[in-house]
Structure formats: structure tokens, C-alpha cells
Amino acid sequence: MTDPISLLSKVSSSDIRLEPYPHIVIKNALPSDYYANLEQSFPGIDQLKSIMQRACATEPNNKSYKRTLRHLGRRNKRVNIPSSLVVDSSSHDHSHSLTNTWQRFIDYHSSDQFFKEMLQLFEAAIQQRFPELNTHDATAKRRNSAQDSNFSVDAMIAINTPSWFRGKITGPHTDHPNKLFIGLFYMQHEEDMGGGNLKIYQRKVPVNDKNLKWPPESTVEEISTINYDKNTFVLLLNTPESVHGVTTRYRSKFPRRFVNIIAERNHPFF
């Protein structure tokens, strides 16, 4: 049985890029043999459909589950599989097709322990931007868990489905203001050259209620591009300045594969 390895195991706070907002880019985040194990057993679309079909059968009124299942049959659609369907004891039937390595990996990265790793890494940046947040007392539960905690964490197996046509993913935007962290662990198929890179933007005009979520492209400038690549982890501290987007995805028979990690609370930070 393979113990999970943290995506943050090889970095420190000195690796954080502070401009235009705090974020970190970790190439070769996991040891090559461990990554190869995850990559080779990344669930295929049929496996993901099986998970969501079982989830829909258990919760037939869950609109999010139904939408996810529909998207798995369409082109260039974003799909997220919640960690609760992979590791929670009540959901073991849903995750029968996933390897133990994947279940343990998702379990760890949707845990309070990993949440505390993120807090410790970004502690100085959090204190500067959100001084009211006491990082030493903050705790987290897995999202959709019945546990009581300040924050919820999710580590979602995610894809953009294959597409035979060039298609847009998303332009410059910020995530919901109740999120503290946004993590993207890229697992590019070696034959997939379909685009879908992450762009980091800087605002050129002050943020306001109208441009907080979707700033017009004329009001931001690109600072860097982080390639969608294998074994690459990107972690953003979510602030009003944390504008990012994804480049056009080209024709590809392969899904764009990644793990989407978030930490959030019930009320917004900004």
C-alpha cells in the first residue's frame, strides 16, 4: 500500500511568487515513480461515468451530479468529481473503479492536514491580506462532510473532455470570494498538445464590484503563462487581485487531466 505524498513536500515559503498576487508553481511536484503510478491509473471517462451514475442513483435530486454526468458525454466540458465520492466511508461503492493509490491521494489532499500545510506555507501572505484570519486556530473538513469546522477542503479529480474542435475554456476571472486557496495539479497526457495553459494576469485598473469576477481583457495584462504539463502543481492565494484564465484548447482526442484543490469557508473574504 503506497502512502500518499504531499504536493507541497518539496517547497517552502521562499518559493512563493508574490507578484501580481501570492502563488506558487511546482514542477515535478511528486517523485517520478509515484507520479507514474497516479498517471497510469488516472480514471478514464467510462470510470468517471460509473462513479457519477452511482452518485445519481444514490442522490437522484442532486442537480450538480446530473450536470456532471451529462458533461461527461459532451465535448470540451469541465468535469469535477468531488472527493466525497472517492473516499468517504458512505461512498465506497462509488469509488470501486479507482485504485487505492488514487483514493489515498485524494483523501490526503482533502484533509485538515493538507489544509494546514497550505496555511503554513502562505502564512505571511495571509496575515498581510486577511489579518482577521487566525491561521493557528483554523481547521478544515472534507467538503460535503458532516464534521464541524471553519473551512472545507476538496480535491477533485477533474478533466476537460476531449474535443474535435478548437474551443475556449475561460478568460480572465477571479474565483468565488469565499475561497482561500485554488490548486491545480496538472497531469497532461504525453501525446496531448491541446493547449489549455494557465495565464496569470495583473489588473491595470482598481478593482470594483463590476470587474471583481470578470474583468474586461482591456483592464488586465498578462504577467506569465504556466504550461499545462505533467506533474506540475499551481497553488494560488485567492484575493481580489488573483485574476487568472486558461488559454484556448485545441483539437484533442485526450481529456485535459488535473486535480482541482480548493479550500473555502461559508462567508467571503472580500
Per-residue pLDDT tens digits of the chain, which is 270 residues long: 568 999 999 999 999 999 999 999 999 999 999 999 999 999 999 999 999 999 999 999 999 999 999 999 998 899 999 999 998 644 445 445 689 999 999 999 999 999 999 999 999 999 999 999 999 889 999 998 766 778 999 999 999 999 888 777 889 999 999 999 999 999 999 888 878 999 999 999 999 999 999 999 999 999 999 999 999 999 999 999 999 999 988 888 999 999 999 999 989 999
The Cα angle at residue 266 between residues 264 and 270, in degrees rounded to 5: 75
Is the whole model's pTM more than 0.75, yes or no? Answer: yes
Q: Cα–chain-centroid distance for residue 223?
A: 21
Q: Residue 129: which H helix or E strand, with range?
A: helix 123-129
| pLDDT for the residue numbered 92 | 47
Report DSSP letters for 10-74, one per residue. T--GGG-B-SSS-EEEEET-S-HHHHHHHHHTPPPHHHHHHHHHHHHHHSTT-HHHHHHHHHTTS
Cα 137 from Cα 116, distance rounded (Å):
10
List domains and CATH numbers for the chain: 13-264 (2.60.120)
Phi–psi pair at 172, nearest 5 degrees: -60, 130
Count the alpha carbons within 13 Å of 163 in the hemisphere toward its beta carbon. 23
Nearest to 130 by CA among 179, 200, 202: 179
